[in-house]
């Protein structure tokens, strides 16, 4: 389960939405800093149980909100570029749902997440001053400042969770949002429901001076990425890495090492980046999971990483942790994970 990649090219994305491409992908996400990891909010969890304070914060002029619709974000278009952080008044006038999710404080100002229904989005699509754009595309092209992406990911994950968990899993009764959106209570059976994050392992497997990369059918032509998959019940991270690699490629591996994590709001996962060393090079591709998997030597992987491969092959986008796993291995030199 390698993370899905955005399917629009940079030029088509910017032209389609009339937005400004502000930074290159490599500038936006330098090595070791993929999207969604630069967190600038104080979550201020102590405020979640104080309804009066939350209402007062929501009414303040400096409070702001991110408005999420499925995998997209409502942005205000302006001459200097799109603005994703809306005033509460703007969000409500655009048709956002009145129920807000308290994300935290930034420089003392409250930041909220809000959902918006499809009929309201349809009305926005006819306007010239508003865009409803896919978050992945905006993040990959540097349209939204990287330091806002973590809060946006939180808003997207939380809005999606509320939309999918409106009824009690225990008795089926409609539940109520509480604690600033970080909990849902059942008025009938008194069950308490909290948002969950799904752990996913994503790993770069090496063997000597080669690395293993795979591709799925929905990837852009020529693009290869790290293998990945969900951690199962009662499974360690190390076991999940070994199992997923074997299931998808037939490769046995050892020496699993943790690198870093990346929040992944599709819908609400935590990508756990690891490396592992293969004990053989004999690949048996699981065609139900992958279109292809193969070994790349360091020279070819470097060309793919830099998007300079003569055959148009490319590595994962800097937006994703897979790019940083590959880049770290390339920068460490030929003796890494020998």
Q: Does the pLDDT value for residue 184 go beyond 80?
A: yes
Tell me how far apart the alpha carbons of residues 273 and 26 are, in angstroms, rounded to a whole number: 19
Give percent of the chain with pLDDT exceeding 70.
91
Confidence of residue 98 (pLDDT cuts 50, 70, 90): confident
Compute the average pLDDT of residues 183-192.
Answer: 98
d(CA 93, CA 127): 13
| Residue 57 pLDDT | 96
Handedness of CA 270, 322, 265, 42 (dihedral sign): positive
Which residues lie across from 167 on neighbouring strands? Answer: 174
Beta pairing partners, 64: 87, 111
Nearest-CA neighbor of 65 among 33, 93, 100, 117?
100
**List of residues 6+ apart from 218 with CB closer than 8 A:** 4, 5, 7
Q: Is the pLDDT of residue 14 over 70?
A: no
For residue 253, give every residue at least 6 positions away whose Cβ sits within 8 Å of its Cβ, in sequence order, or none.
Answer: 205, 241, 242, 245, 246, 276, 277, 278, 279
Q: Return the minimum-mean-pLDDT range out of 82-91, 133-142, 227-236.
A: 133-142
Say whether 198-332 and 10-164 share the same fold: yes
Residue carrying the six token digits 């629009």: 8
Q: Summarize pLDDT for 215-270 with one digit per residue, the tens.
A: 999 999 999 999 999 999 999 999 999 999 999 999 999 999 999 999 999 999 99
Structural domain spans, the chain: 10-164, 167-195, 198-332
Mean pLDDT across the stretch 142-170? 95
Query: 71-100: buried (b, 16+ CB within 10 Å) or exposed (e) per residue?
Result: bbbbbbbeeeebebbbebebbbebbbbeeb
CATH architecture classification, 10-164: Alpha-Beta Complex (3.90)
The CATH architecture that domain 198-332 belongs to is: Alpha-Beta Complex (3.90)
Q: What is the pLDDT of residues 309-332, one digit of tens each?
A: 999 999 999 999 999 999 999 998
Q: Rounded to an integer, what distance in angstroms lies between the CA atom of residue 27 and that of residue 244?
A: 32
């Amino acid at each position: 389960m390698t993370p899905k990649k955005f399917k629009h090219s940079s030029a088509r994305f910017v032209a389609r939405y009339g937005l400004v491409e502000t930074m290159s992908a490599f500038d936006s996400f330098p090595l070791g800093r993929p999207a969604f990891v630069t967190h600038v909010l104080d979550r201020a969890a102590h405020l979640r149980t104080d309804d009066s304070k939350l209402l007062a914060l929501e009414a303040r002029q400096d409070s702001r909100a991110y408005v999420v619709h499925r995998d997209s974000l409502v942005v205000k278009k302006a001459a200097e570029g799109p603005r994703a952080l809306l005033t509460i008044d703007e969000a409500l006038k655009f048709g956002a749902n009145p129920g807000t999710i308290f994300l935290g404080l930034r420089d003392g100002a409250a930041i909220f997440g809000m959902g918006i229904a499809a009929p309201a989005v349809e009305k926005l699509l006819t306007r010239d001053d508003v865009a409803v754009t896919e978050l992945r595309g905006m993040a990959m092209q540097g349209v939204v400042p990287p330091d806002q992406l973590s809060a946006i990911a939180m808003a997207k994950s939380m809005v999606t969770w509320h939309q999918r968990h409106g009824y009690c899993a225990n008795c089926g009764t409609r539940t109520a949002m509480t604690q600033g959106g970080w909990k849902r209570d059942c008025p009938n059976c008194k069950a308490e429901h909290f948002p969950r994050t799904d752990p996913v392992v994503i790993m770069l497997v090496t063997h000597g001076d080669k690395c293993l990369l795979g591709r799925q059918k929905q990837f852009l032509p020529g693009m290869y990425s790290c293998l990945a998959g969900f951690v199962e019940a009662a499974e360690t991270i190390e076991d999940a890495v070994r199992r997923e690699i074997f299931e998808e490629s037939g490769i046995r591996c050892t020496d699993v090492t943790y690198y870093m994590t990346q929040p992944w709001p599709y819908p609400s996962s935590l990508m756990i980046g690891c490396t592992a060393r293969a004990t053989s090079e004999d690949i048996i591709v699981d065609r139900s999971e992958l279109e292809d998997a193969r070994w790349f030597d360091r020279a070819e992987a470097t060309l793919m990483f830099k998007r300079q491969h003569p055959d148009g092959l490319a590595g994962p986008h800097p937006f994703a942790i897979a790019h940083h796993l590959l880049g770290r291995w390339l920068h460490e030199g030929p003796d890494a994970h020998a």
